[in-house]
Structure 1
C-alpha cells in the first residue's frame, strides 16, 4: 500500500471527523469524550521562551514513543501546539513573514500520520501566547509589523492579514506522506485559535474587550472559509472576563486552562481562582451558550494539587460531568533516542524558583510516565499520578480500564567500560539486565533494578569490564515483560 493515499478499505473510526453538535462533540453520531496529554514539541522541540538546547526537529522515535505512551495512557486526543505554532526561527513553519519552510512540514506530516495509525487525534494551536520571546508567539507578529503594542495583534488589519496567511499555509498544506491536506484530514480534531492570548492581552493592561471578541470571530470566520470540516476552538480565555465572547457564533468549542498554584497571580489580576469545582462551573457557563467545552490544560502535580486526595476530586468532576467533552494534562515527555528521557524543558536548579507561584519550569509540569525525581515531585509521586491520569482517560472515554500494554523491546545503544545504556520502552517502569559470556548461559544480573532516569546500568564485575554480551527486558506497571532486546 502506497503511503501517498489511504485506501478506502482501510477506513475506520479515525477516518471520520469529530463533529460539533450543540454542546457536545460527536464521532459517528455518538457522543465523543476524551482525555489526553499536551505534547507541545511534536512539530519542533525547544521552541519558545528560555528553552534549553535551541529549536530542533524531534526524531521519529521520540514522536512514536510519546504517541505510544499516550495511547497506553488511554488518550484519544492530544493537544499539540507546535503542529501549528512555529514562527520566527530558521526551523519554524514561518521563519520570516510570508515565507514558509517545506522542511518544517516534514515532522508535522510524520506526527499526523503516526497519530492516525494509532487512532489518535490532535487539537492544533495556531499561535502561542508569548509576547516577549526571541522567536514565536503573537509577539513575533507585532515585531514583524513594527509594533511595540501587543494589542495591535488583535486589531491591526495588517497583523491580522499576516496571521491569516500563516493559517492558510497550514490548513492548505498537503502531506508529503499521505497526500491529504490538513484541512481534509480527520486526524485533526480541532483548530485552536491561540494559547490563552486574550488573558495575555488583558494582563498587559488591555481594555479592548470588544476588539478581542471581534478577533475571535474574525479568525474563526477565516478558518471556516477554508475548512468547514473541523471544529474551531476558542482558547483565548476571554470568557473568564468577557462572557460576551460566548455570544459569538464562530467557535464550536471553548476551552480554558487550570493551574491552582497560579491562583495568587490570577486572583489579583482577574479574580480567578481554580479549584476542583472550576471545571464544571466553566462548563455550565459555556454550554449554556450552545458551545462544547474542554479543559485544554491543567496541572497534575503537587504544585497544583498537594496530595492525591486533592487531585482526585478534580478528575472525578470531569469524568462525571457530561458538559465536559474533554481535557488535557500538561505535559507529556518521551524517552530520548539514545537513553533516558528527553531533557526537562525550562529547568532550574533553584528549589525556590521551582516552587514559586509565578514561575514556569518543567520541574513541576513535565510528566515522564516512568517517573523521575524533580525539585517538586518524587518519582513515586509522579508514577502514581500518571496512573491516576491513565485511569481518568479511560473513564472519560466510557471504557473499562484495561491491563497495561506490553512495552516494546528495549534497544541497547552503547556498551562501554562496563556501562550499559539502552533506548527506553514506552510504558516501561523498570528493566532487568542479563549477561552472558561469549558462549555461556544468560545470567540475571539486574532484576528490575534499572529505571530510565538512571545514567545507564553499571556492570563493575570483572566480567563486565571484559566485555560479555548483554540483553535488557522492560516491565510494565503490571510486572509483565517485553521481549528482550537484541543481545549486544
Structure 2
C-alpha cells in the first residue's frame, strides 16, 4: 500500500512526465481474462483464508486489537496466504447470535470505530501485498443480514435461525422475501453506496481506487430460499437482485471485480441452471463454491473414520461439477469456503487434526491438478483463520461482549472449523499449497 504522500508524489511525477509515463504506470488491480485472474497481465492465483472479523480486530476500540491483527497478517503472509475474504457489513439486529457491535443500523448510522477498523485492515493488507474480497451482507443471521433488513421494513418482525417454533427451512424461506422487498433492498443498496464509495481515512485512497480490494461480493451465501417450492417462486426476484446489485457495484467501482458469494449448487436448490443463470450475468466476474461435508451430512463428526471415504467422494464430485460449470461459463472458479472438524468433533485447539488435514490435502490436490491442466480454478480461501484466538468459555460458545475473535462466527462453537496458530500440520499443508500455486504457470 502506498502512503498518501507517495500516491500524490507519483501522480505529480506522472503528470510532469506526460502521457508516455502515465501509460507505463503499473496496473495493480486484479482483472479477469477469460477463466483466469491477472495482475499487470500476469496470471494471479492464490491460496487464501477467510477472516470475517478483520474489521473488528482492526478497530481502535476496546473490542479491537491492532497489534494482534498485525501479528495475524504476518503469520498468514509467512504461510503464503495472499488473499483474505472479509465481512464488510453487519446490521444492528434483534436476532440471536448476531455479532456485536454492529457496523450500521440500516438507516445510515455507522460505528465509526468499525469503519476505521476496516480502513486499518485494508491499509495493513496493502503493506503486505495481500488482496481482499469484501462481502456486503449475509443470507444468514450471524451478522444481522437479510433477515435483519426485513425486520427494518416489517415492523420488527423476524424469525430466529434454529427456533423450534420455526423448523428448517422456515428461516431461509422467510429470508427469500428480501429479494422482492424494494424497501429492504434499498436500505442494503444504501450501505453498498456508503462502503464502496468510502475513502480510507488512513491511506487517503478511495476504496474504489484501491487495488488491495480484489472483489466485492453481493452477500455471504445468498440463496433463492431453502425449499424448492419457495425458491423456484422467488427466482425472478432473486435473479433481478443479483443483476441489479452487481450493476450498482460495477457503476461505483468499475476497476474491481464482482462476485456473488454463492455456495454454488448447494446455494441454488442444487440446480445447475440456477447456478449458470446467476453467474452468466456480465457484471459477475467469477464463480464461487463452498464445500461443507459435515454441515451437509456427508460425514459424521463422531465417526469420521467410518464416513470420511464416502464424504471425500462427494467432495471430489462437487468440485468436478463446479469446474465443468465454470468452464462452460468461461469464468474463473474460486473455492472460497471449505471446512472440516477436528478429530472426534472436538473444539479444543489441542485436539488432533488428522482428518481435517486429509481434507485440506484433497481440496488443494484438486486445485493443483486443475491448475496444471490450465483449468478455471484460480484461488481458494479456507474457513477460517483463528490464529491466536481462543474460546473465552469452557463450553466454546460466544457470548455478547466477548473479544476473543475466532474464525468461527458467533452462532458456531468457537473452535469448530478455525485453524489456530498452534495447528502446525494444517499450516504446513497450507504453506506447501501456497508455494505450489505461486510457482505454477498457465
TM-score by length of 2: 0.72
Measure how far apart 1:344 and its partner are.
8.2
List per-residue Cα deviations over 1:145-179 (Å, max 9, x = no partner). Answer: 11654222111111111110000000111111111
Measure how far apart 1:311 and its partner are.
4.0
Q: Which residue of 2 aligns with 1:295?
A: 335
Q: Which residue of 1 aligns with 2:401?
A: none
Residues 4 and 176 in structure 1, CA contact (< 8 A), matched pair in contact too:
no
Q: Given the alignment, which residue of 301, 313, 317 partners 2:362?
A: 313
Measure how far apart 1:13 and its partner are.
11
Q: Which residue of 2 aligns with 1:385?
A: 426
Q: Which residue of 1 aligns with 2:147?
A: 139
Q: Which residue of 1 aligns with 2:421?
A: 369
Which structure: larger Rg? 1
| Closer/same/farther in 2, CA of residues 187 and 344 from structure 1, 3 Å limit | farther
What CA distance in whole angstroms lies between the structure 2 residues aligned with 1:364 and 1:283? 28
Q: How does 1:54-203 map to 2 (within 5 A)?
A: 57-81=63-87, 84-88=88-92, 91-131=101-141, 136-146=144-154, 148=158, 149-198=174-223, 201-202=226-227
Q: Which residue of 1 aligns with 2:350?
A: none
Specify every segment of 5 or more residues in structure 2 that has no aligned partner in the other structure, as ranges: 12-23, 94-99, 159-173, 300-311, 346-352, 399-410
Q: CA RMSD in A?
A: 3.5
Measure how far apart 1:191 and its partner are.
0.2
Residues 137 and 218 in structure 2, CA contact (< 8 A), matched pair in contact too:
yes
Q: Which residue of 1 aligns with 2:51?
A: 39
Measure how far apart 1:328 and its partner are.
0.6
What CA distance in whole angstroms lies between the structure 1 residues aligned with 2:116 and 2:195? 12
Q: Given the alignment, which residue of 286, 295, 304 partners 1:262?
A: 295
Residues 384 and 417 in structure 2, CA contact (< 8 A), matched pair in contact too:
yes
Measure how far apart 1:273 and its partner are.
8.4
Secondary structure of the 1:387 match is helix
What CA distance in whole angstroms lies between the structure 1 residues aligned with 2:313 and 2:9? 50
Q: Which residue of 2 aligns with 1:23?
A: 35
Q: Given the alignment, which residue of 265, 278, 292 partners 2:318?
A: 278
| Closer/same/farther in 2, CA of residues 114 and 289 from structure 1, 3 Å limit | same
TM-score by length of 1: 0.66
| Closer/same/farther in 2, CA of residues 137 and 392 from structure 1, 3 Å limit | same
**1:249 and 2:282 are equivalent in the alignment:** yes
Specify every segment of 5 or more residues in structure 1 that has no aligned partner in the other structure, as ranges: 47-54, 267-271, 350-358, 372-382, 401-488
Between 1 and 2, higher relative CO (CA 8 Å, sep ≥ 6) is seen in 2
| Closer/same/farther in 2, CA of residues 161 and 30 from structure 1, 3 Å limit | same
| Closer/same/farther in 2, CA of residues 109 and 6 from structure 1, 3 Å limit | farther
